[in-house]
Structure 1
Amino acid sequence: GLAPDERSLWVSRVAQIAVLCVLSLTVVFGVFFLGCNLLIKSESMINFLVQERRPSKDVGAAILGLY
């Protein structure tokens, strides 16, 4: 067995390590999901811009209507 002081020191050390692991996992998953979310949003913005660059039929009809 361990002396009471050594046991409480060991328990506090294990608790610190457990808390550190949980916080580290939280940060890692938070960065991962935030990065995925930003990637999805940027991809949708790029698709939106690509669709905007294509000439629409309405613009062609308006140009023909001017002549």
Structure 2
Amino acid sequence: MAQTFIIQKNSREEVRISRESYRGHELVNVRTWYRADDDGTMKPGKQGLAVKAEKLPELIAALQQLESEGG
């Protein structure tokens, strides 16, 4: 089972970050999940990003650059 990290976005949404395999590709998935009105369970939303795991170092470097610039 893939490890998942959760960042609380607000009282109804959270961002889940996981590494998974999809159709033979290793992906890093960053997706917003929301609490459903009908039954209160968390469901994946349309907002998100999936990148090949091999691109993870570039993504991390870009995020670190943004952080160092104060953005």
TM bracket (short chain) = under 0.3
Higher fraction of strand:
2
- TM-score under structure 2 length normalisation: 0.26
Higher relative contact order (CA 8 A, sep 6+): 2
More helix as a share of residues: 1
TM-score by length of 1: 0.27
Larger Rg: 1
